[in-house]
Amino acid sequence: MKTKKIYIVTLGCSKNEIDSELMMSILKESNYIISDSLEEANVIVVNTCGFIERAKEESIETIWEMTKYKEEGNCKYLILAGCLAERYSKELMDEIPDIDAIIGTGNIKDIALVIKELELKSKRIKKTGNIDVAYLEEVKRINFNITEYVRISEGCDNFCTYCIIPRLRGKHRSRKMDDIIEEVKYLASNGVKEIILIGQNTSDYGIDLYNEYALYKLLDRLNNIEGITWIRLLYLYPDNFDDNLIKSIKNNQKVVKYVDIPLQHVNNNILKKMNRKTNKEDIILLINKLKKEIPEIIIRTTFIVGFPGETEEYFNDLLDFVEDIKFERLGVFTYSQEEDTPAYSFPNQISEEIKECRRDKIMELQKDISEDIMMNKVGKKFNVLIEEFCGNNTYIGRTYMDSPEIDGVVYVNSIKELILGDFIEVKITDYLEYDLIGEVIQ
């Protein structure tokens, strides 16, 4: 049987979504059909995540779920890609006989070649270990939504003691500015209106190519691209978040006043154990400067609770900080003890019960903070990107304050039919814990 139809399952972060899109483009160029049916697919590719324990479990469950299509469907070959595949290629091959091939994070360019090799030789294939490759600039994406992620760098040089990413994605590598500009122009020409800039650490953009932290220069250029309405920033580490970047966010109209800064903790003892390059005092200075320079700024952050050695005192330091700062958007992870990281063997590991209790405490506090913030939006007007119609004259959209899938939404009431992808002025009439309710301003 000549293999033709390919189905790609994408797990994990937005960086994996881009990798899946690149694989789709490569496969289409090689005359394969991208299928929307698992039952009809001749090849199933699972693009896995292996960042923390919960993500690994989801990936393993999905792989086992896909194996049934080799018996019940038309699947001839099951291929794994992504971080879990890179990290545990031997173990996965040994434990799951239905896996036909594994390609690591730096080998997605080989996806079509691997399928052809399977067709010709019918033997299991493993291609991993090539983690420091350059971005596939020559591959053009083929699927376009109103919002698209754009990767400006890959890999990470931070080596936080809890994190496996440098071993899976390699050292920090910035893309050339001209290549990013070219991609965004291409996306804009295909109807994309919001771009979200991502990387392992986007505030480090350019230091390896231009000997300076050059994200501010990239934003200045992206702001001039016609067709793009919103430019959003994720994964900005605080240590190299300098004045040039703050000024660029403030002055560029298309750059939404929203920053995602994963702080992970605020107690200086824990930050030092995490090998974070910042401290509580500098974090507070940065937040205060952002709020002073850009009063409408929305700051999203994430924290890790239950890191080895996190005493009750250290946790309360974090809890008090959350209460004082009142972040508009906040997420909490429990520490995941990952093999091949320094923190794996740290003393004073903390029980899952205590970790979960601490996570729940912060999220309960954040729920109250969020409700107060949402309440204060009532009566105000916002530009809303309309994304979905859900019946009964109600649409779902987002303001500049909300990143897709991780933040809240706005439920928009409109008697008049709205066009998905349009930006509509909406007056907020009510609120929920994390979401807003509004009506179109006629």
Class level of CATH domain 5-127 = alpha beta
Taking the C-alpha atoms of residue 277 and residue 78, their distance in angstroms, rounded to an integer, is: 41
- pLDDT for the residue 3: 62
* Locus of tokens 């086992």: 64
Taking the C-alpha atoms of residue 125 and residue 134, their distance in angstroms, rounded to an integer, is: 23
- pLDDT for the residue 107: 94
Class level of CATH domain 380-440 = mainly beta
* Locus of tokens 């301003």: 441
- pLDDT for the residue 134: 87
Q: Any idea where the domains of the chain sit in the sequence?
A: 5-127, 147-376, 380-440
From first to last of the 442 residues of the chain, give the pLDDT tens digit: 466 899 999 998 899 999 999 999 999 999 999 999 999 999 999 999 987 888 889 999 999 999 999 988 899 999 999 999 999 999 999 999 999 999 999 999 999 999 999 998 878 999 998 888 889 999 999 999 999 999 999 999 999 999 999 989 999 999 999 999 999 999 999 999 999 999 999 999 999 999 999 999 999 999 999 999 999 999 999 999 999 999 999 999 999 999 999 999 999 999 999 999 999 999 999 999 999 999 999 999 999 999 999 999 999 999 999 999 999 999 999 999 999 999 999 999 999 999 999 999 999 999 999 999 999 999 999 999 999 999 899 999 999 999 999 999 999 999 999 999 999 999 999 999 999 999 999 7
> Which residues have CB under 8 Å from 266's CB, separation 6+?
280, 283, 303, 317, 318, 321
Copy the structure tokens of residue 288: 């205060």
Global pTM reads 0.94
Strand order in the sheet with 194-198: 147-151, 194-198, 230-233, 255-260, 298-305, 329-334
Copy the structure tokens of residue 241: 């978040």
Taking the C-alpha atoms of residue 62 and residue 48, their distance in angstroms, rounded to an integer, is: 9
75 is in an annotated binding site: no
357 is in an annotated binding site: no
Q: Which strand (E) or helix (H) includes residue 141?
A: none
Taking the C-alpha atoms of residue 117 and residue 126, their distance in angstroms, rounded to an integer, is: 11
Taking the C-alpha atoms of residue 421 and residue 401, their distance in angstroms, rounded to an integer, is: 17
- pLDDT for the residue 2: 61
* CATH number of 147-376, picked from 3.80.30.20, 3.40.50.261, 3.40.228.10, 3.40.50.2300: 3.80.30.20
